[in-house]
Structure 1
Amino acid sequence: MPKWTVFQLLTIIFLGLFIVGKQVFQQKITEFFSLINLGIQPAIVATFLTIIVTIWGCALLFYWQVQKGNQLFIHKVWRIMPALSGVLLLLSLIGFLILGMTVLSSVTPELHWLIDLFVIYFLVLFYLLVLSIVVRYGTSDLPANKITTSANIAVIFTLITLFFIPGI
């Protein structure tokens, strides 16, 4: 197995352990961030850190895929990927809203990990949407690391705007 595949598997395992650890130590994490007194609710800071780790994990997965020597961003699927990922994100959002009004409306604290999985799912879809837009409408001669860096900056900037600007 190539070392880049091992790195990808380790990244996925680390992301899983991070989410499990976040759920197990939720109380201690909240206490820690409340002691720091950032002026922001501790739950928002913990969620934002989860978002950052997830986005970096996605970027690492794509980076290591490119390191394998595959021409990942050259494939013809990237021409229609913005539309595909946008439709999938919209359908997922509608499905999540329907689940939120029915099944997920009575989630107990023991099942908050399920909400974390939904957050990660939507983050990965959102990252894929932004990445596909960067690949589709960017210049075709960009190296793969610049493509992923551009997508990371766009996603982080958008998420910072969504999380922190409405609170001001």
Structure 2
Amino acid sequence: MINKYVIRGVLITLFFGLVHFVLIPVHVPRPSFIPGFAPPPDMWPRVVSLLGMGIGLFSIATAVMESRQATGKIAPVPWQLQLRAETLLRLALVAAVFAGFAWMLPRLGFLGSAILLALATFSLTGGFRYRLLATLLALMLPVLLQLFFANVMYTPFPAGSWDVLPALR
């Protein structure tokens, strides 16, 4: 049974499939020789896109299993998607958040931009009961990612012209 949750999973899978199979091979150059055990430049984008496709497939599977239970919680929708104003507003906010991240990256650097991106992303998910946890995760995950790449992988992230946290490099 096709419902809005199955369609959402299909769209997520198609988006990350497009990124993995079309955009990464075209826009991320892969050198013919990579010294030592250094990962190629397209490794992390491919990992993220494969994880996104896995999330989409998992979403499809759970939506199909829940619709087969016939609990009445998941109502089927027609093929013409009925977009609500809230959905369009949330989509516009997500686009604005990512545009803001792209604008802030050269100014704040990776760390500051990633913290603000995580805060905005967590607030857009609507989990307002867990504000403290979301704030801690938004602060800690980018810092841990920065420390891991700077100290273990020896791969610095962009600093930015307004970078206020150079001590983590």
Q: Which has the larger radius of gyration?
A: 2
Higher relative contact order (CA 8 A, sep 6+): 1
User: Normalising by the residue count of structure 2, what TM-score does the alignment of the two structures yield?
Assistant: 0.33
User: Normalising by the residue count of structure 1, what TM-score does the alignment of the two structures yield?
Assistant: 0.33
